[in-house]
Amino acid sequence: MMISESFRELHRRGEGALIGFITGGDPSPKISQQIIETIAKEGADIIEIGIPFSDPIADGPTIQAASNRSLNAGTNPQAIFDIVKETKSRIEIPIALMTYYNVLFKMGVQNFLTKASEHRVDGLIIPDLPIEEAAEYRELAEKQGIDTIFLVTPSTLPNRLKDILNYTSGFLYLISIYGVTGKRDDVSQLTIQSIKRIKPYTAGTIPLAVGFGLHKPEHISSIIGSGADGAIVGSALVKIVENNLNDSIKLIEQISTLTRNLKSATLPKK
């Protein structure tokens, strides 16, 4: 199932999308595979897998630490591709990779995209790729059937937003706050206002998903209730990994419980 198809089906059912992020290969490729499949089985509609990178500029300390653990475990892009393909052999769920452009450049953009397609990757999120430099990349990605998911912030101006909407596919990723990833106590008024400001531009054209700082069911219901089509949760899941490095059974149990609770917040109110 493609990302756009997933959103269409959820819209038909009156549900919001839960997009779960995990750093691939953290704490090891084998356990990472179990975590991803658990998130999928417990209701996540789309999985976002981060390719570990030595200088993840958009990520806060929790995900930076996860990247370091993953790199120390020997994870590389090919290992992430293998995780995606293995997951897709058992669970039919859209999977997007989050990475930085240097990873593609080092492997060769065409080679990276070909491998991604062969391993059934559905989309890519590249925070440090501006639309002004994305035309050639996006054309190659389209040929491989891979969505390019661009990001906007609360400060993105209308003209800039329209330009980004011409480039993005799959969904538009709204960074809900200023700064890097990490848990926040509450959904800010700025986030709610940003959703309501941007939604008229995306309505009927592309889904709007919101991320950065979300970790409670009430956060998810607030985001969806304000008009977003999906909510992205990352640091809360990654933190569970960090807190249970020596107890994989407890790790999976806590991932399972959190995912199930978060997904329940995307369902239509009875």
Q: Tell me which residue range forms the domain holding 194.
A: 3-264
Whether 106 is covered by a domain: the verdict is: yes
Establish whether 26 is a catalytic residue.
no
Query: Is 18 contained in some domain?
Result: yes
Q: How far apart are the first and last CA of the chain?
A: 28
- What gap in Å lies between CA 242 and CA 65, rounded to an integer? 8
- The reply to whether 235 falls in a domain is yes
* pTM, entire model: 0.93
Outline where the chain has alpha helix (H). Answer: 3-13, 29-41, 61-72, 77-88, 101-107, 109-118, 135-143, 158-165, 189-202, 217-225, 235-243, 248-264
Chain-centroid distance of CA 31 in Å reads 19
- Mean pLDDT, the chain, integer: 92
Q: Which of 45, 48, 122, 229 is catalytic?
A: 48
**For residue 266, what is the DSSP state?**
T
**Any domain includes 94:** yes
Question: Could you say which of 37, 59, 147, 229 is catalytic?
Answer: 59
pLDDT of residue 184: 47
Q: Say if residue 82's pLDDT is above 50.
A: yes
- Say if CB 26 and CB 239 are below 8 A apart: no
Q: Is residue 126 included in any domain, yes or no?
A: yes
The answer to whether residue 270 is domain-embedded is no
- pLDDT value for 215: 85
Residue where the block lists tokens 């978060």 = 262
Domain count, the chain: 1
Euclidean distance between CA atoms 8 and 11, whole angstroms = 5
pLDDT, residue 181, reads 45
* pLDDT tens, residue by residue, 90-147: 998 999 999 999 999 999 999 999 999 999 999 999 999 999 999 999 999 999 999 9
48 is catalytic: yes
The DSSP line for 181-207 is S---SS--HHHHHHHHHHHHHHTTTS-
| Range 84-94 burial, b when 16+ CB lie within 10 A, else e | bebbbeeeebb
> What count of Cα atoms within 13 Å lies in the side-chain half-sphere of residue 23?
32
pLDDT tens-place string over residues 38-66: 999 999 999 999 999 887 666 678 888 99
Assigned domain for 83 exists: yes
Counting Cα atoms < 13 Å in the Cβ hemisphere of 226 gives: 24
CA–CA distance from 123 to each of 6, 113, 117, 227, 234 (Å)? Answer: 13, 10, 9, 23, 17
Domain containing residue 103: CATH number: 3.20.20.70
Banded model confidence at residue 84, pLDDT cuts 50, 70, 90: very high
Cβ(252)–Cβ(241) below 8 Å: no
Q: Is residue 269 part of a domain?
A: no
